Chains A and B, each alone.
Chain A
Amino acid sequence: MILWETFDQNEIYILVALVIVYTVFFILPKKIPRHITLLFLVWGFATATFFDFTLGGKVMDLYSVNDSGQYELSDLLTYFLFAPFSYFFVYFYHYFQVGRKSIIFYIAGWTILGILMEQLSRFMEMTHYGDGYSVYFSVVIFLGVQTTTALYYELILRQQRKIGDERS
């Protein structure tokens, strides 16, 4: 494990993005219960870790993050950068009261945002596509992850309503 290979634009990009993202996280009025907030922060972190170490891992090696194949501190910070995005996803899902009619547009919107963020990350040399990887694969990943997140959040809401009904 190393801190970073060279401290340059990708590290600066990660640090600036972390400050912006976590400032927004703390500024936003709290509308989601604390335990659900904590769960979705970990959900975002785990999703980034899982895909990076699976698709970006040794044998598949479809993409890499930051400067080297070694585990860098900047890699760990990258996963912390992903954590609040899962929270924002469910936060605005709740805020806009996304339902059956609007969920497709909501997920499509987040997928476009994800792709744009990924292209910015490529430009800042945080993300590097490997041979054979293209942005179309990212569309599949974003659609899959966001659909799972939305369905899972709906499942939690149903369970919470059920518990609430049983208590009342």
Chain B
Amino acid sequence: MAFSIFFVLTWLAVFTFGVIQKKLSLVENTFVFLITLIVSINFSWIVMNELELIKRTEETLPYTASLLNRSIIIPVLLLIQLNMSMARDSFLWKTVVMLSAVLVLVGLSYLMTALNITDNTDWNLGLDAIYFFLLNLIAYFAYWVMESVSEKAVNQS
């Protein structure tokens, strides 16, 4: 069941990203996706396997559900958040969108524990919220880096 739920959520996230109006270019979206993917993979490995703060099931299908969350859902949700927040210049709008994204991501972490995919032995949802907030900032930073480099490339041509 855990796999099916996370498969549907993956499909939903990818489909939503596919249909929303993109404010970022293809290159910017890909760059942000790859950076958040790298951070997400490394963070989950370090927290689960190196520090053992979160225990993860070793049953194949629930484990695959956690891989879907780590490698697709989290980076794609951050892309949706970034594209939505760029739709308006208002600081309030950007803050609301970012906090909503953090809330959804924390909700997914809760779902992982509720479905016995993970067991937060020495971890809690508050720490998850801090991590997802920082991950959102990393997504913004990655976008800013790519935008700066792209502008230089346009100015030089």
Specify which of B34, B50, B71 is in contact with A42 (CB 8 Å cutoff). B34
Count A-side interface residues using an 8 Å CB cutoff.
Answer: 24
- Range class of the B interface residue count: 20 to 34
Please determine whether A54 and B46 come into contact, CB atoms closer than 8 angstroms. Answer: no
B150 at the A/B interface (Cβ < 8 Å)?
yes
Instruction: Give Cα A156–Cα B150 distance, bound, in whole angstroms.
Output: 13
- Tell me the residues in window 47-88 of chain A with beta carbons closer than 8 Å to chain B beta carbons: 49-50, 53-54, 57-59, 70-71
Nearest CB on A from B90, distance (A): 27
Whether B58 sits at the interface, judged by CB under 8 Å, is: yes
A38 and B146 contact, CB distance less than 8 A: yes
B49 touches A (CB below 8 Å): yes
Cα of A110 to Cα of B132 in the assembled complex, Å: 38
Asked if B86 lies at the interface with its beta carbon under 8 angstroms from chain A, I say no
- Chain B residues whose CB sits within 8 angstroms of the CB of A155 once the complex forms: 26
Task: Tell which of B25, B31, B71, B153 touches A50, judged by Cβ atoms closer than 8 Å.
Answer: B71
- Which of these binds chain A: B10-18, B35-43, B98-106? B35-43
Indicate if the CB atoms of B50 and A35 lie closer than 8 Å: no
The reply on B116 being an interface residue by CB < 8 A is no
Check: A15 CB closer than 8 A to any chain B CB: no
Answer yes or no: A101 CB below 8 A from chain B CBs: no
B27 CB → nearest A CB, Å: 6
Set of chain A residues within 8 Å of B38, measured between Cβ atoms: 42, 45-46, 49
Residue of A nearest to B70 (CB): A53
Interface residues of B (CB under 8 A from A): 25-27, 30-31, 34-35, 37-38, 41-42, 45-46, 49-50, 56, 58, 60, 63, 67, 71, 145-146, 149-150, 152-153, 157
Given contacts A1-B50, A71-B45, list 8 more A-B pairs with CB under 8 A.
A34-B153, A36-B27, A42-B35, A49-B37, A50-B37, A53-B45, A58-B58, A156-B27
